[in-house]
Structure 1
Amino acid sequence: MTQRKKIAAIITTFYPASHADVIVTKFVEGFPTDEGLLHPKVDIVSMYMDQIHQNDIGLALAERNDIPVYPSIRQALCLEGNELAVDGVLSIGEHGDYAWNEKEQHLYPRRYFFEQIAGILATSGRSIPVFNDKHLSYNWYDAKWMYDRARKLNIPFMAGSSVPLFWRDPWLEHNLETNLEEALVLSYGGLDAYGYHAFEALQAMVERREGGETGIASVQCLEGEDVWQAGNEGVWSRDLAEAAILVGETKEGNMEELCKEPVVFLITYNDGLEATILHLRGFANEWSYASRVEGEIQATGMRGCGPPYPHFSYLSLNIQEMFLTGIPQYPVERTLLVSGGLEALLDSRYRNHVRLETPHLNVTYQAYEDAPIRPTNLFPSGPSKGV
């Protein structure tokens, strides 16, 4: 019998509904999906927690399942020995008591986590798959360092958001080489945490356009009345916004009356594609997407779900597949580009909403041909809803 892969979980903190909970718990107890509760094919054999939350549940989970919790990342990967002793790493640097900077970015230790992991891999002479939750880093220098370090060490590397794996209603996935003319995502929540999710949802759609991904030429963030004025002037498409509203989850009423603090991210790609992320806190309750393809509008609502947070099951199943095969399910370049793009947008906001040229974001890549593991229904059902 083939030995099961041994996985280390490197975590900032672990409390109910934290990312550690909605990912690591599933790797231990199973993945609730529309098709049933799927049992893990790999084993969590060690954990490192940077902080113990006052409502911690990680220690109890570890104790119930005989998973040792180590005081360092090195020990978690070496299992008390002196050499690498695991076959994959979950690096979950999300949530916890970490500082914010003046641009309202949460300063999570994702580079530090990856630097420790990569150091152990480099000295062991063996590369194993690593998953980094959400964006690579809050700054481009660290994000690009992580990407380059992974390439140098031949680390199978995945990262990113669960939102591209949400249920879609109506179903929409652009074919490769789609003639995409413009695109928009309707968003909500904080600009760092949820702005990132919106950007990755956008990128997962537009990367499939004709010619593949070409990188980002410039960005600009606008706020308040300037958002509505830009819409009136055609800087962003009100037609696409209305299409996204129709398929999305929003409050009833007029977006301009209900959203008191609108924010818009304006993104110009190197091939000329114009894309928009419209943040409407107080009006939008979920992400939705709209695009114009050869003159026709195509739109979809992106549906997540509360407990047991099954969208993280599909994210985790894709991570597990990489652990088993050594092949990422989708390109990490997507998350690299979004990491840098989000930082540039928050820089624009901090610098009084100026338009910023972004020649450093010349990230080019091709989208996947074979679809990742994800829901095929329009809405969660069965175990995905806790039934």
Structure 2
Amino acid sequence: MSSTPPTTAESTAAPTKLRVAAILTTYFRGSHSDVVIGRLLDGYLLEGQRREPEIEVVSAYLELLGDPYGGEDPRHDIGVDLFDQAGIPLFDSVAEAIGLGQPGVAVDAVLVIGEHGGYEENIYGQRLYPRKRLVDAALSTMWGAGRFVPMFTDKQLAWRTRDAIRMYEDCRRLGVPLMAGSSIPLCWRTGDQTWPAGHTMDAAVVVGFGGADIYGTHLLELSQSFTERRAGGESGVERVLGLTGAQAHTALAEGRVDPSLYRQALDMLDLQPEDEARLSDVGLDIFEVHHRDGLRTWTVIHEGLNRFGVAARGPQTSTATRVWAQRGPAFGHFSYLVRNIEQFFITGEPRWPTERVLLVSGVLDAAMRSRHASKIEGVPVPVSTPELDVSYQNDDVNVIDAHGLPVIEDAE
């Protein structure tokens, strides 16, 4: 699959700022809608400097109103009032939001945030967020109007691999520039900043916190942001293993996860002895990924760890990195995601390959299915992934990411 982005159609108007339709599942304080859309409404800090948004949210579709978790969660909708105060109309369908209440495409870009809300969970532990449904509604609107504009969708493409592949292929077929992903690969780093571009890599370990589904996508994308820089670039994935609970603890104790790299990644987190001792008692998930060029990576997800570490090794090179995300209410790392989204909408060129997120979507789906099968069978059950023959290269030249550190007490 090529990583060359298609060219967007020119806008029929020339406003001062590009007009964006926000397509959202829910909007409560601290939700992804809040920390992204809030910055586009009010401006944001980046590298200590105040920035005014370069794009303008002019319409919104908000799927879950009131209590987005159906009375099971104390979080409540704040989006309706915020959009009303900002003078931004809320519409009852994706198509109406994109057409500003009329048939057609009356915006220059579409921002989809299909994260959070009381959607069902399947037997594999995957939350069935409607990302594909929302993207399909946007694509259908564009097709009917004969006008195609860039679209960003938050986190992975879809919870199911075949849906993710279809989203990717539909956008390429229709000429819709598509970008996806999360804020974690853009976060502040200490230690070795990244893997040297073009150096051979044999193995890598990422440690972080969970749950497996909601944070698995963050950690897998973080892993890809390092491993895709290896000699030859990304080659695709041939099989994935997911383990949880006692099986994961046994695998870790027996050295199935590369012990040296795991130790290096953990050492970057500056844990107190008592905190590290508790890791053997908390929930644990492991994703083992076999890439087509022989690279093997592990994602180790400890409950309650609240820190991220990465270690990688090759014949001539080794690196170890700590990755810092900022706690709320600031969530400063989302400023970098917003800045990259803005630049994508303005240029029509994704800041990183969409193939990265396509691969992450498929690996997470395979890992969650393998995790379930391994638990049921009582032995590790890897899942073959012939559909993840996804190769690409990335030089990071267009990425706007964090430098230095935020205030330390706010960063974990």
- TM-score of the superposition, structure 2-length normalised? 0.89
- Pick one of 226, 246, 256 that aligns with 1:235: 256
Unaligned runs of 5+ in 1: none
Mapping of residues 176-255 of structure 1, within 5 Å: 176-248=197-269, 250-253=271-274, 255=276
- How far, CA to CA, are the matches of 2:294 and 2:38 in structure 1? 43
Any idea what the Cα deviations from partners look like across 1:150-186, whole Å, max 9, x if unmatched?
A: 1011111110111000000124122321211110100
1:288 Cα deviation after fit: 1.2
Any idea what the Cα deviations from partners look like across 1:264-305, whole Å, max 9, x if unmatched?
A: 1111000000100011114x2221111113355311111010
1:227 Cα deviation after fit: 3.1
Whether the 8 Å contact between 1:310 and 1:385 is mirrored in structure 2 is: no
Give 1:356's aligned residue.
Answer: 383
Q: Find out whether 1:62 has 2:89 as its counterpart.
A: no
Give 2:113's aligned residue.
Answer: 92
Whether the 8 Å contact between 1:169 and 1:302 is mirrored in structure 2 is: yes
Aligned residue pair count: 383
Mapping of residues 1-387 of structure 1, within 5 Å: 3-54=16-67, 55-248=76-269, 250-253=271-274, 255=276, 257-260=278-281, 261-282=283-304, 284-306=305-327, 307-352=329-374, 353-377=380-404, 379-381=405-407
Identity rate, percent: 34
Whether the 8 Å contact between 1:228 and 1:256 is mirrored in structure 2 is: no
Whether the 8 Å contact between 1:14 and 1:53 is mirrored in structure 2 is: no
How big is the alpha-carbon RMSD for the aligned residues of Structure 1 and Structure 2?
2.0
Unaligned runs of 5+ in 2: 1-13, 68-75, 375-379
- How far, CA to CA, are the matches of 2:250 and 2:143 in structure 1? 52
**Residue range with higher mean Cα deviation, 239-248 or 134-143:** 239-248
- How far, CA to CA, are the matches of 1:114 and 1:126 in structure 2? 15
Whether the 8 Å contact between 2:261 and 2:312 is mirrored in structure 1 is: yes
1:100 Cα deviation after fit: 0.6
Any idea what the Cα deviations from partners look like across 1:349-377, whole Å, max 9, x if unmatched?
A: 11123012111111111113414111121
- How far, CA to CA, are the matches of 2:319 and 2:163 in structure 1? 36
* SS across alignment from 1:10: strand
Q: 2:16 is matched by which residue type in structure 1?
A: Q
- How far, CA to CA, are the matches of 1:112 and 1:145 in structure 2? 12
1:262 Cα deviation after fit: 2.1
1:137 Cα deviation after fit: 0.7
1:144 Cα deviation after fit: 0.7
Cα 1:258–1:174 shift into 2, 3 Å: closer
Whether the 8 Å contact between 1:12 and 1:96 is mirrored in structure 2 is: yes
Any idea what the Cα deviations from partners look like across 1:51-88, whole Å, max 9, x if unmatched?
A: 01332111121112110011111110000111100000
Q: 1:145 is matched by which residue type in structure 2?
A: R
- How far, CA to CA, are the matches of 2:382 and 2:263 in structure 1? 25
- TM-score of the superposition, structure 1-length normalised? 0.94
Q: 1:321 is matched by which residue type in structure 2?
A: Q
